[in-house]
Structure 1
Amino acid sequence: MKNRVYGIEKKKAKWGWIFVFPSLIFFALFSFYPIINAAYTSFFKKNLLSLRPPKFVGFDNYKYIFSSPDFWNSFRATIIFTIGTFVPIVIISLLLATFIMSRKKFQKFFEMAFYSPAVLSSVTAAVIWLMIFEPRGLANQFINFITGSSGKDWRWLSSGGMVQLATIIVYFWKYIGYFTIIFISGLASIPQSVHEAAKIDGATSYQDFKYITLPLLKSTTVLVSIMSMLQCLKTFSTQYLFTQSGAPTEPINVITLNIYNTAIRDHSIGKASAMSIVLFLLMLILTIIQFKISKNDDVDFN
């Protein structure tokens, strides 16, 4: 009997690998190969438009970028953008999901309303907000209405601090609904009987949220945290379009934008590849840290 069960499991495993193998090939081709190729290229001095063979320079590209004020400015801009976007997205998307789940009516309407910006491309979202941030746009009109001022230009696209805030707003608006839906899925997976038992024991709504919902939602929170953090670290299109529209480059010159300019404008593929590897390692380290901090046993309701 045991041999028969073992044979069935072995056959299932074999067919599982057969179905998964094509996906692994595509994943390796479009994910692992670019990473390996970038790591290899980062040790060479290579000009994008030159027909000369690349020259091996060892760690010179890494030494250059780590001694470059431009790279450290990009690092600072990336960290500011990531923290300014990642933290509000995680907190507010959880609160929005809790609010939507507590509604007896219009749940689907709220879900569609918040999720709708996520279906737009990043370029489309950036173009929409470029018009909003114009001197005569809705952003200035709204702030002037709130503050009681009239005709004041808040310089969304010309002031360093304001252009940083503008890029954060664009990403927050685009992705808040996406992560809200993920939190809603996590909240829906919590058995209603757990909340009912807490209510019978006299727990308030706040206590139920703090001591039941948050612990049971930890795996979803980790997922949202990692996904939103990686999304912020990869940001490019908003900053690129803003700088192309005349916004100052330095405050929003994130690492991805610096990689693009180094490779396309300066034609230095080796240095751009080195920056790509540094960004990859940064993302990998931060992801591992998040997993370590939030590591715990999953709750089993069976």
Structure 2
Amino acid sequence: MKSIGIEKKKARWGYVFVTPALLLFLIFSLYPMLNAFYNTFFNIKLLSLRPPKFVGLKNYSYMLSSPGFWNSMKATAIFSLGAFIPLSLFSLIFGLIVTTRRRHQKILQLLFYTPAVLSSVVAALIWMLIFDPRGIGNSVVNFFLRTPGVDHNWLTNTGMLRFSTITIYIWKYIGYFTIIYVTGIAKVPTSILEAATIAGASAMQTIRHIILPLLRPTTMMVTIVTMLNSLKSFSTQYLFTQRGAPLEPIDVVTLNIYNTAMRDLKISHACVMSVLLFLVMMSLTLVRMKSSEKDVTVY
């Protein structure tokens, strides 16, 4: 009997450990995605006893001509851009601040990361209390503007409502991405930094010409994850509308999908929006990855 090599044994045990995760992915991720795509070609209503009727591409045609869907795309674009740019920029700045300090680095990392531990629902509830007419939000703004007693309508005015949801999202996730940048900066070889110091490079020159170029893989990951998470945001907008906030300014695609499926019982239309959102996310991801293929820096 031939003996089995150590590499083959490792490979077999690798398959054993990977199989449960693969099965869970196939059952709870891949199958629902394929089933949702299949449902887009039928007229399916939740709780209806009638058999689904094949309608071809009519659901796609209806959704692409729906004002409600394009309003959701607009709300999603505004929210995503409003959250994506500050998160990508300030998480990098905070990461540089944390890594350049000689003292209290752990405390700063803890303070930044603490909001990320909270669930999205808890974070939204905390900020809803802050944005209450009697909350600290109005008090702070009125203190700086010297307008005592003024209600700035955080949860009713269109612009303030969008600003509020973006603020909550940034507050919750900026610490998470800051820690990612801290990890990326820590991987920069100290020999390169020491050589730059010996060569007389200033701190800004070191950051601009050494740290930032070597952080491009980390930056690509952060920008992609930030973009995808922003496009999938749901809980904050849902809780705000449940507390009486107007729906139209914050009716992001995910919230529209939920309302279409659970309130209007139109499963097919919800599946179409899910597929379209997936295509948008995939396209943006491919564009971002393609744009970073040539941004490789080697020292």
CA contact (8 A) 2:216 2:295 kept: no
Residues 99-136 of structure 1 show CA distances to partners (whole Å, capped at 9, x for unaligned) of 01111111111111110111111011111111111111
CA contact (8 A) 2:213 2:297 kept: no
Change (3 A) 1:26 1:297: farther
SS at 1:26 equivalent: helix
- Structure 1 portions without partners, runs of 5+: none
Deviation at 1:7, TM superposition (A): 5.4
Deviation at 1:152, TM superposition (A): 1.1
Q: Please say if 1:120 is aligned against 2:118.
A: yes
Deviation at 1:8, TM superposition (A): 4.8
SS at 1:246 equivalent: coil
Aligned AA (1:240): Y
CA distance in 2, matches of 1:271, 1:214: 44
Q: Please say if 1:268 is aligned against 2:266.
A: yes
- Cα RMSD of the aligned pairs, angstroms, is 1.7
CA distance in 1, matches of 2:63, 2:87: 31
Match of 2:206 in 1: 208
Deviation at 1:19, TM superposition (A): 2.2
Residues 160-214 of structure 1 show CA distances to partners (whole Å, capped at 9, x for unaligned) of 1110000000000000001101111101111111111111111111111011001
Match of 2:173 in 1: 175
The counterpart of 2:159, out of the listed 141, 157, 161, is 161
CA distance in 2, matches of 1:26, 1:170: 32
CA distance in 2, matches of 1:257, 1:295: 34
TM-score normalised by structure 1 residue count: 0.94
Deviation at 1:12, TM superposition (A): 3.5
Give the stretch that moved more between structures: 122-131 or 145-154.
Answer: 145-154
Aligned AA (2:46): L
1:19-168 paired onto structure 2 within 5 Å: 19-168=17-166
Sequence identity percentage: 54
Give the stretch that moved more between structures: 290-299 or 60-69.
Answer: 290-299
Deviation at 1:23, TM superposition (A): 1.4
CA distance in 1, matches of 2:5, 2:297: 32
Aligned AA (2:124): A
Deviation at 1:18, TM superposition (A): 2.9
CA contact (8 A) 2:41 2:56 kept: yes
The counterpart of 1:283, out of the listed 272, 281, 284, is 281
Aligned AA (1:170): I
Aligned AA (2:221): L
TM-score normalised by structure 2 residue count: 0.95
- Structure 2 portions without partners, runs of 5+: none
Aligned AA (1:17): Y
Q: Please say if 1:190 is aligned against 2:188.
A: yes
CA distance in 2, matches of 1:56, 1:31: 24
Aligned AA (1:54): P
Deviation at 1:14, TM superposition (A): 3.7
| Count of aligned residue pairs for this structure pair | 297
The counterpart of 1:228, out of the listed 226, 229, 243, is 226
Deviation at 1:11, TM superposition (A): 4.4
Aligned AA (1:45): N
